[in-house]
Amino acid sequence: MPELDIWIYWVVIGIILIIVEMFTPGFVLGLIGVSAILSGVAAYIGFGSYVQTIVFIISNFILFIFVRKIIYSYFNSSNSDIKTNVEALSGKKAIVTKKISIEEPGEVKIGGELWYAAPVDNSVIEKDTWVEVVKIEGSKAIVKNIIGGK
């Protein structure tokens, strides 16, 4: 079996770690993989094992201190403004399917789904009236009448 240069081992290990990172959260293995590839470059140039180890340690330190924070801030900041589930219903328009009053909750249709509904104030909202969802409390939509329809 032919002998392989040490730089090939560094690069192959680095590529494997980067590929494994795609299936794991945390941005750890990918950064270690990049450090391994940088050590492979040092080995290819001709530096000894001592320099390769120093390159690996220093590049790991730099990547973990600076690059990991940048990656985390990029992936975490983009999702903070997205409303999901019942939060996304606030502000939506709905049609009353059953009369709504403070004494007896009615029903509204929000995007094809029926929800129990109560008025935000003491008003009575008749069937077939357009309303706006103010908020969701449990399984009940708190709504207000829209003056002028849609």
Choice among 12-16, 18-22, 30-34, 78-82 with the minimum mean pLDDT: 78-82
Asked if residues 5 and 49 have their Cβ atoms less than 8 Å apart, the reply is: no
C-alpha 78/C-alpha 98 separation (Å) is: 39
The pLDDT of residue 3 is above 90: no
Q: How confident is the model at residue 72 (pLDDT cuts 50, 70, 90)?
A: confident
Q: How confident is the model at residue 11 (pLDDT cuts 50, 70, 90)?
A: very high
- Beta strand residue intervals within 31-98, DSSP E: 93-98
Tell me, which fold does domain 85-145 have in CATH?
Answer: OB fold (Dihydrolipoamide Acetyltransferase, E2P) (2.40.50)
pLDDT at 95: 92
The pLDDT of residue 26 is above 90: no
pLDDT at 1: 47
The model's pLDDT over 83-133, given as tens digits with 9 standing for 90+, comes to: 667 777 888 899 999 999 888 889 999 988 899 999 998 889 999 999 999
18's tokens: 């980067």
The model's pLDDT over 132-144, given as tens digits with 9 standing for 90+, comes to: 999 988 889 899 9
29's tokens: 């293995």
- How far apart are the two ends of the chain, measured CA to CA in Å? 78
| H or E segment to which residue 132 belongs | strand 130-137
Domain boundaries defined on the chain: 6-77, 85-145
Long-range contacts of 61-64 (CB under 8 A, 24+ apart): 63/31, 63/34, 63/35, 64/31
